Homo-oligomer: A and B are copies of this chain.
């Protein structure tokens, strides 16, 4: 009856880094952030893949979240293997070898006053075969 946890994936369908900003940097630089919380006693190895509307995905971007720490990763600080283009629609899939919590936030400071949005990423399973790449948790399934 012991349980071992599968590698986990979290999807964020909405992504857009505004291409300009107003106000002091870095506080008011327009940005998108993936806030990752990892409360266990061992580090988490995290991989991020970025999807676009008109080209193949970018990444993987890799980062480590130490034990009992949170990392608030800004998408506009990615450089390896390539920066995320500005003013471009994207989406992201965040995978970890252990359970984690991922919340997505955007600060849009293109105008004089900021706008904010935030929501938790959608958890699911990343499948390595066939045509079903990501299955949201709780999706209806048939057994055959």
Contacts and interface: CB of A to CB of B under 8 A. Distances in A.
Interface of A: 1-6, 8, 11-16, 23, 27-28, 33, 35-42, 49, 51-54, 56-57, 68-72, 87, 89-91, 93, 98-99, 101-103, 105-108, 110-120, 122-126, 130-144
A72 B52 CA distance: 10
Work out how many copies of this chain go into the complex: 4
Nearest to A106: B116
B113 A116 contact: no
A3 B141 contact: yes
A126 to B, nearest CB: 8
17 contacts: A6-B140, A6-B141, A6-B142, A12-B101, A12-B103, A28-B111, A38-B133, A39-B93, A39-B133, A41-B130, A70-B90, A98-B131, A99-B136, A111-B113, A112-B113, A118-B119, A137-B139
